[in-house]
Amino acid sequence: MFRFEMGRIGGIPIYLDMFFVLILVLFSYPYFTAGSSQAISMGFVIVVGILVSILLHELGHAFAGRLFKANVSHIELTGLGGIAHFERSLPPSVLARTVIFLAGPAANLALYWGFDWLAQLAMGNGALMMARPFLVLAGTNLFLMIFNLLPAYPLDGGHTLDAWLGAVLGPYWATRIVGGLGLVIAVLVGLWAFSGQMFFMLFVAFFIGQSSWEAFQSANRWRR
């Protein structure tokens, strides 16, 4: 898929995948086709807000990594979210890994509070149309935080649980447990996507299932 460099933040190149743009267009399509300048403005704010939210999530990982001398070579925004590519393996310290992995969801939590505050401020001033996109962005960031904390690969919650289980049970059992949980979560996300007709989430479910299955299989190879 074609991608281009948006720029650099803190010396980190940011690449935007066109599949990411397509997802944003599909998500905001109802706003841009409503025939109202207010709806188009709301759609624009939501698109920019989601882009910034996912970018700040990945920058959270990147800047937390710098605290432990784990630098990010580049960040890629893809159709399935964002990816911070570290230059080398993360430090073995459980604390370091926990801080790095949870920095992303922490950024979404801060954004949830920020957008919710803006929405409440707008509603308090009677600007209900202005409040709507902020409410959407607050809800989006709350969803991103909770979803990324699920105990499955390649999500932040899965990697964090892997780090703690690995320290107690060793890498074999840590990978087996998180991989198994990931397969269950992939099925549940797939069922949720079908029931709510959120077909995009089927790709997410497949991605989680594939990553968790590969990790599960890799643990078997270690045991041999």
- What is this structure's pTM? 0.91
Q: Comparing C-alpha atoms, which of 167, 182, 165, 169 is closest to residue 216?
A: 182
Residue 83 bridge partners (DSSP): 76
pLDDT at 3 over 90: no
Please state which of the ranges 49-63, 75-89, 172-186 shows the lowest mean pLDDT: 75-89
Residue that the structure tokens 């949980």 belong to: 181
Distance of CA 117 to the CA centre of its chain: 22
CA distance 78 to 99: 23
Confidence tier at 196 by pLDDT (50, 70, 90): confident
Q: Is it the case that residue 152 has pLDDT exceeding 70?
A: yes
Q: Does position 10 have pLDDT exceeding 60, yes or no?
A: yes
| pLDDT value of position 81 | 83
Q: Which tens digit of pLDDT belongs to each residue from 46-81?
A: 888 999 999 999 999 999 999 999 999 999 998 778
Peptide bond into 13 cis (omega under 30): no
